Amino acid sequence: MTLNQVPMNQLITDNIDIWTSTVKTKATTGRGSSKKLELYGVKKLRELILELAVRGQLVPQDPNEEPASAMLARVAEEKAQLVKEKKLKKPKKLPNIDEIELPDYTLPLGWKWAFIPEVIAHDNYAIKRGPFGSALKKAFFVASGYKVYEQQHAINDDFLRGEYYVNEKKFEELKAFEVKPFDLIISCSGTVGKVAIAPVNMERGIINQALLKISLNTSALTNEYFKILFPAYYMKTETLSDLQGTAQKNMVSVETLKSEPFPYPPIEEQHRIVAKVDELMKLCDQLEQQTEASIEAHQVLVTTLLDTLTNSANAEELMQNWQMVSEHFDTLFTTEESIEQLKQTVLQLAVMGKLVPQDPNDEPAAKLLERIGEEKAQLIKEKKIKKQKALPPIADDEKLFELANGWCFARFDDICTGITSGSTPPKDKFIESEGVPYLKVYNIRNQEIDFNYKEQFVDSVHHKTKLTRSILYPGDVVMNIVGPPLGKVAIIPDSYPEWNCNQAIVVFRPIEPLLNKYIYTYLTAGLFLQSIELIGTAGQDNISVTKSRSIVLPMPPLEEQHRIVTKVKELMVVCEQLKARLKESQITQLQVTDAIVEQAV
């Protein structure tokens, strides 16, 4: 290590804020904490430590140590003697190192580019791929005997896992694939590149087709250094770098490892590298734990303070609690999760009557509900809609909170015409274009209709004659009733005059058309999901059409509904602006982190 190189401990401490604050949001959604965040800074720090380790930049070189070239020469002499004594087959000729394109960095003094066969003196079968030519079948397995080691053992570095065994006859047949204590096993297809060292107390057994084993059995290369070497160097070579995350089989081959040169340090330095990596990885563990604890604490604080808003007893208490939140706004809403929680709180306050003030001059909701009831009765009388089976009165346990002045409870069936779901027409009724747009659950994205995503059209004649029950019109509110997740909501846009949908979507068409935006707001808030009875199996819960009809709506006066919708829209714009600024900040942090790593190597 040269004098102008910054020691690794200093590099870590000088940039501690970068390592601990740089995070990436994962693709998952819903409630949670740090599990939705990738601790990108610590991840890059771990990668940097390994990268510097195999470049000879992690620990200083000692000019008094035997150079790697001398060790290789001694191994070559031992191997030649064994060949002469016919104890070892003559090894295959290795590639000419001068004809191989090596990485664009110079190895430190005492290091050398080497091939794995050069450091293994005694075993022609030191590198062995699992029996992929005759993959182990379930029919081979027995209750006890010789263990079959699988990918999970390499991935989790846990040799106690697994329950597959073969009998003695099958073991003898596949004995060339036996794994012994101190062997390295490598995951070599699917999740490529995970390495584990077989422990002394392991059960006797064989590897399966998804593993590759290396029996070093040499004083020239330590297992622990190779475990660092494989992810930090081999998995970044041109041959192997594209394999991570692929589902292809037979990717890491024996010949690949034999013919790929690697940076080989003196044996004493290998030990120092391993010790330093262990030390720094423990430090990374601590940083990770501290970061996760900080994220968790921040999330608890956000949840607690936002809950004070929804739990406020009256407008005065709400304003006091909001003052407390607003004073710390810049420190509270600094993650995508916290902003999503803010949005959810806004929606909850809106449908609880706490977002905008009530006006005693507004017509009470009960009057509006009475007028809608009269209009619905007239539509039934004129046979424009069918009379549905009456639903039971709203029970006290269905009323999620105390209503604001001028509000009343109503069931969706009280305010909508024929609430129903769609159906799936025969395949030959779907056409490429110029028909009626047909919606599936995946077309409801970000709480709006995204018809450009996998658009489908259904024949207009079939739509008019066979799918009349599920005709949709602009302004209708739709919601998916098959999960996960349940409760995706949208308002049908006016880009087409009529639409249709499948059975996983239910439509709400309010008798008073101006109710649609408040209905959308209420469904988006998702409070009804806390009390509605679901059907179906775990992991795919459903809401029946009858339960959709019976959803209880806390209904404000019509004028207040307009004020609520306007205020929600205004605050959602603010939340999206917060998220946009957050993403810009995260991108900058990621770029700074990457720049530090690039400069360090």
Q: What angle do CA 38, 42, 46 make, to 5 degrees?
A: 120
Mean pLDDT (the chain) is: 86
Whole-angstrom Cα Rg for the chain? 33
Which two tokens mark 360?
């005693």
**6 confidence band (pLDDT: 50, 70, 90):** low
**What pLDDT sits at residue 318?**
83
User: What whole-number distance in Å separates Cα of residue 41 and Cα of residue 595?
Assistant: 12
- Find, among 51, 59, 8, the residue nearest to 271 by Cα: 59
Beta 195-197 vs 184-187: how paired, if at all? Answer: antiparallel
274 close to 225: Cβ distance less than 8 angstroms: yes
Residues 40 and 593: their CA atoms lie apart, in Å, by: 9
The CA-to-CA distance between both ends of the chain, in Å, stands at 12
Three-state secondary structure call for residue 354: coil
pLDDT value at residue 590: 84
Distance (Å, whole) CA 458 – CA 463? 7
Nearest to 529 by CA among 483, 573, 569, 565: 483
- CATH number of the domain located at residue range(s) 365-556 in this protein: 3.90.220.20
Between 8-17, 52-61, 147-156, 494-503, the lowest mean confidence (pLDDT) is in 8-17
Q: Which residues pair with 535 in a beta bridge?
A: 542
Question: Strands 146-149, 165-166: parallel, antiparallel or unpaired by DSSP?
Answer: antiparallel
> Is a pLDDT exceeding 80 seen at residue 42?
yes
Please write the tens of the pLDDT for every residue from 178-187. 999 999 999 8
Distance CA 510, CA 561 (A): 14
Contact 467, 422 (CB under 8 A): yes
User: Which long-range CB contacts under 8 A does 380-389 form with residues at least 24 apart?
Assistant: 385/417, 385/418, 386/418, 388/413, 388/418, 388/549
Name the nearest CA neighbour of 229 among 193, 192, 254, 258. Answer: 193
Most confident of 100-109, 226-235, 266-275, 482-491: 266-275
pLDDT above 80 (res 28): no
**pLDDT tens digit string along 219-252?**
899 999 999 999 899 888 876 654 444 444 446 6
3-state SS assignment for residue 106: coil
Q: What is the pLDDT of residues 396-419, one digit of tens each?
A: 888 888 898 999 999 999 999 878
How far apart are the C-alpha atoms of 322 and 304, rounded to whole Å? 12
Reported as a single tens digit per residue, the pLDDT across 590-601 is 888 888 888 777
| The two domains 66-265 and 365-556 share their CATH topology (first three levels equal) | yes
Q: Residue 95: what pLDDT?
A: 86
Query: What is the predicted pLDDT for the residue at 240?
Result: 67
pLDDT at 27: 57
How far, in Å, CA of 124 to CA of 410, rounded?
A: 80
Greatest Cα pair distance, the chain, in angstroms, is 107
- CATH of segment(s) 66-265: 3.90.220.20
The CA distances from residue 577 to 322, 413, 478, 582, 584, in Å, are 20, 37, 27, 9, 11
Confidence band for 123, pLDDT divided at 50, 70 and 90: low
Section 87-111 average pLDDT: 87
Compute how many other C-beta atoms are within 10 angstroms of the C-beta atom of residue 144: 9
Q: Where are the domains of the chain?
A: 66-265, 365-556
Would you say residue 274 has pLDDT above 90?
Answer: yes
3-state secondary structure 553-586: EEECCHHHHHHHHHHHHHHHHHHHHHHHHHHHHH
pTM: 0.74
Residue pair 39/292 in contact by the 8 Å Cβ criterion? yes
DSSP per-residue codes, 528-561:
GGGTSPPEEETTEEE--HHHHHT-EEEE--HHHH
Give residue 33's pLDDT.
41
H helix or E strand, kind and range, residue 43: helix 40-55
pLDDT at 121: 66
Across 461-475, average pLDDT? 92
Sheet with strand 178-179: strands edge to edge: 141-142, 165-166, 146-149, 205-207, 178-179
What band does 350 get if pLDDT is binned at 50, 70 and 90? very high
pLDDT > 80? residue 190: no
